[in-house]
Structure 1
Amino acid sequence: MITIEHLTKFIGIQKDPILHDVNFQFHKGEMIAIVGSSGSGKSTLLQCLSLNQKWDQGSFNVDGVDVLKLGFMGKQKIKKEWAYLEQSPEFNPKRTALKNVIIGQRGQTPWWRRLSGTVRSDDYMGAMDVIESLGLLEKAHFKMGQLSGGERQRIAISRALVHGAKVILADEPVVGLDPKSAESVLEQLRTLCKEERVTVLTVIPLDLAERYGSRIIGLSKGEIVFDVKGRRLTQREKSLI
């Protein structure tokens, strides 16, 4: 179980709260859709959970351990297991999808390996298995520039999984994608939750949240205004965000 208590994040000289006293719990295998208007704190929430931004207040308990009290190595382990996926994932355009998956992002592999592009045979087969599970085996040897936006997002998910991700924090992973590609990405994320017990927290539009989320959390002005499971939102709930 993961428990977030009293998460507060300030911004600016005036220390205005962009997140204020956020509290919730979640379990393995959940697909949590986060919704809210621009500036509600959605992206900041994911960045705090990935430890890409410092918490000003709060506790972050994973299986009874407060992550915020861990040392450098403990936090690095959490960063590896809690993969933050940006709207436009960064890749080396000169390398294939497979090599981008294996070599990983900055901080996931040694600098010399990132520079040389060295690939071990055991890494190769493991990455191919993951890429195949996400329906892109035929694109594994394509350069990244040859892939569509939806395919790039699925390669980003593959990369996170190959490097040990247990939780995926996806910040608007379908922005700019055509409807079919967006559905493909979200279907893959939902399948990972159901079959691999990966946990997903994702910022997506409300209509997609109702279709794909097993749970929907609404944010407004940095506070949770609703947290519903297994159903669509009521009109009153929609009016809160």
Structure 2
Amino acid sequence: MIKVDKLVKKIPESTLLDHIHMEVEEGEFIAVIGPSGSGKSTLLKCLALREKWTSGTYIADGVDIFANKMTGMRKIRRECAYIEQNPTLYPKKTALKNVLIGQLYQTPIWRMVTGMVRSDDYMGAMDIIEQVGLLDKAHAKIEQLSGGERQRVAIARSLAHGAKVILADEPVLGLDPQSVDGVMQHLQKLCREQKITVIAVIQQIELAERFASRIIGLEAGKIVVDVKGRRLTQMEKNKIFS
């Protein structure tokens, strides 16, 4: 589904990503782990095209993203959803409205201006909100929701607007244990049941081991561990957190 080859990201002071190679299949739940400054968030931003690559090749569903720049950019923006630690939502609007409005480049201008919604869009959004376990909160305003619930609204919004890949940067950071499990379980369920691909930066190793189908470990901008989701060996941990 996605193939990245020789991804390099440099800034004047240093190399943030150093010849990254990774192939991602449909429905994988990939946890990206590593110490602070290892390039985890930069990797997600590069995949979402929120950071400019210094060099490298990016193939998605057989499309060479950089060789077909306009088509490629539209494809990534349409099919890859980048979710930040604190997702940007409209606090005074309901969960349902946030899902329907979506992100600016995914929403028709007429809907942004008028706020009008077709009945099939409404029902589709409600179905997705139910999938992430928030049906009872559909008409609650974002400012009334917990951190974990807001994360799930952001996930639902991405799905409602056609995302095939979710790039989540520390989606459970700062959440209480119950919310952490809820968000991780819903991400896992999306991968298993809907073949959505999730690539998430995860701070806690034990969460990566419990929920991910694959674990990628970064150290100094390089992939040093790439294994099936399981309990990591001490040697593998030492490679990542040397």
Asked whether the two chains share a fold, i.e. TM above 0.5, the reply is: yes
Aligned residue type for 2:53: W
Residue 88 of structure 1 is matched in structure 2 by 86
The Cα offsets for residues 68-127 of structure 1, whole Å up to 9 and x where unpaired, read as 222324312221201000000111111110010001012211345324422221110100
Pick one of 54, 61, 64 that aligns with 2:62.
64
* CA distance in 2 between partners of 1:109 and 1:26 (Å): 28
Where do 1:14-93 residues align within 5 Å? 14=13, 16-93=14-91
Asked if 1 retains the 8 angstrom alpha-carbon contact of 2:66 and 2:72, the reply is: no
- Name the structure 1 match of 2:171: 173
**Does structure 2 conserve the Cα–Cα contact (< 8 Å) formed by 1:99 and 1:119?**
no
Ranges of 4+ aligned residues in structure 1 off by more than 3 Å: none
Match of 2:189 among 188, 191, 216: 191
Aligned residues: 239
Output the CA distance in 2 between the equivalents of 1:152 and 1:90.
9
Q: Which residue of 2 aligns with 1:234?
A: 233
| 1:175–1:115 Cα change, 3 Å | farther
Match of 2:106, SS state, is coil
Question: What is the aligned partner in structure 2 of residue 8 from structure 1?
Answer: 8
**1:212 is matched with which residue?**
211
Cα distance in structure 1, aligned partners of 2:112 and 2:89: 11
> Where does the alignment leave 5 or more consecutive residues of structure 1 unmatched?
none
Residues 163-202 of structure 1: CA distance to partner in whole angstroms, max 9, x if unpaired? 0000000000000100110010000000000000000000
CA distance in 1, matches of 2:109, 2:83: 21
TM-score (norm 1): 0.96
Which of residues 96, 101, 122 in structure 2 aligns to 1:124? 122
Q: Tell me what 1:203 maps to.
A: 201
What letter is aligned with 2:5?
Answer: E
Query: Distance in 2 between the 1:67 and 1:99 partners?
Result: 32
Instruction: Indicate conservation of the 8 Å contact 1:18/1:222, yes or no.
Output: yes
- Residues 168 and 200, structure 2, Cα contact 8 Å, conserved in 1: yes
**Normalised by the size of structure 2, how large is the TM-score?**
0.95
In the alignment, the residues of structure 1 paired with residue 44 and residue 173 of structure 2 have an alpha-carbon distance, to the nearest angstrom, of 16
Code of the residue aligned with 1:165 in structure 2: it is: A
SS across alignment from 2:20: strand
Distance 1:230 1:208 in 2: 10
Distance 2:152 2:40 in 1: 22
CA distance in 2 between partners of 1:218 and 1:131 (Å): 32
* CA distance, structure 1, for counterparts of residue 71 and residue 114 of structure 2: 25
- Measured in 1, the distance between the counterparts of 2:123 and 2:236 equals 46
